[in-house]
């Protein structure tokens, strides 16, 4: 099992294997930050899907972002 470093708080965490590009831990503040980034991503330009996510990673990530409503 590999761990990742949270892009928000810098703590290490266990990424969910179902989530691609899992860069935030499960702390409430970090989840809020994740949602903010996600919204900026889709609001700024719908067609501008980041290259490192790509179409393959887009749908799982969209499902993950669902909790942001």
Q: Footprint of Zn ion on this chain (CB under 5 A)? A: 6, 8-9, 25, 27, 30
Least distance to Zn ion from the beta carbon of 45, Å? 26
User: Rounded CA gap, 17 and 65, in Å?
Assistant: 15
Least distance to Zn ion from the beta carbon of 61, Å? 17
Specify whether the CB–CB gap between 13 and 4 falls below 8 A. Answer: yes
Q: Which is nearer to Zn ion, 27 or 53 (CB)?
A: 27
**C-alpha triplet 41, 47, 49: angle, nearest 5°:** 50
Least distance to Zn ion from the beta carbon of 9, Å? 3
């Amino acid at each position: 099992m590999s761990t990742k470093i949270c892009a928000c708080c810098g703590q290490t965490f266990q990424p969910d294997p179902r989530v691609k590009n899992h860069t935030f831990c499960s702390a409430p503040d970090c989840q809020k930050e994740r949602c903010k980034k996600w919204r900026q991503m889709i609001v700024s330009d719908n067609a501008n899907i980041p290259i490192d996510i790509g179409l393959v990673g887009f749908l799982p990530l969209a499902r993950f972002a669902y909790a942001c409503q």
